[in-house]
Amino acid sequence: MRVSEFRLTARGGPDDSASLDQAVSERPDHGRIRAAGFPARVSMRVQCQIEFEPHEVDQRYQIRLVIVDSADQQVAHFGHVANPQSDATEAAARVRVTFVQLVESLVIAQPGTYTLHIIVDGTRLSSYSLRAQLNEAA
C-alpha cells in the first residue's frame, strides 16, 4: 500500500488566528502556517488517496493522521477504519481509498515545523511538514 495523492487546504475556521499557505496543495512537504503571534489556531482539510494492492484488499485497516511538533510531541491525532473491497470484475487492480479529515482550530503553540504523518496499521506511509512562522518572517 502507498499514498498516491495528498491534498491539504485551508478551511478558515471562526477561531483561526493563523493562515495556511495555499501553495501547500502543490508542494505539501514545503507548506507554511503564518501567524501574527503564538499560540495560534489554524483549520485545514487533509485528504489523501491510499492505494492497496490486490492482495491487501478485503481486510480492515486502521488509518491515522498524527500531527507532531518540532520536538516530535503529538499535538493532535485522528483515526478511521477502512475496509478496501475488491471488485470481482477487476480482481488484479489496485483499490483506492480516500481518507478525509477536517482539522478544526488546531493549536500551534510556537513557531517551528509541524509534521503530518499518515499511518496505516502502525506503518508510516507518508509525512508532510508545515513550517509555522510569524507573518513578518515570511
What percentage of the chain carries pLDDT values higher than 90? 59
pLDDT at 137: 45
Give the start-to-end residue ranges of the domains of the chain.
Answer: 2-137
Q: How far apart are CA 44 and CA 88, in angstroms?
A: 36
> How confident is the prediction for the chain on average, in pLDDT?
86
pLDDT in tens, 71-125: 999 999 999 999 998 776 565 678 999 999 999 999 999 999 999 999 999 999 9
pLDDT at 22: 52
**CATH architecture, domain 2-137:** Sandwich (2.60)
pTM, two decimal places = 0.86
**Number of H helices and number of E strands within the chain?**
0, 9
**Which residue from 74, 63, 67 is spatially nearest to 99, judged by alpha carbons?**
63
